Amino acid sequence: MKIPSLTVIGDPSANLAGFWDPVTSLVDWCEENYIKNYFIGEFWNTLSNLGYLFLFLYALFYSKIRDVHTKIFTVSILFLSIGSALFHATLSYGCQMIDESQMIVIVLNMLFEA
In a domain, 108, yes or no: yes
State the total domains in the chain.
Answer: 1
Q: Residue 95 belongs to what domain range?
A: 30-113
Whether the full predicted model's pTM is greater than 0.75, yes or no, is yes
In a domain, 10, yes or no: no
- pLDDT tens, per residue, the chain with 114 residues: 666 665 555 666 677 788 888 888 888 877 888 888 899 989 999 999 999 899 888 888 877 777 777 888 888 889 999 999 999 999 999 999 999 999 998 899 889 876
Contact 42, 33 (CB under 8 A): yes
Helix (H), strand (E), coil (C) string for 65-102: CCCHHHHHHHHHHHHHHHHHHHHHHHCCHHHHHHHHHH
Output the known binding site: 28-29, 31, 33, 42, 88
| Model pLDDT, residue 12 | 65
| Model pLDDT, residue 96 | 93
In a domain, 36, yes or no: yes
Output the known binding site for Ca(2+): 28-29, 31, 33, 42
DSSP string, 14-73: G----TTPSP--SEE-SSPTTSS-SS-SSHHHHHTTHHHHHHHHHHHHHS---SHHHHHH
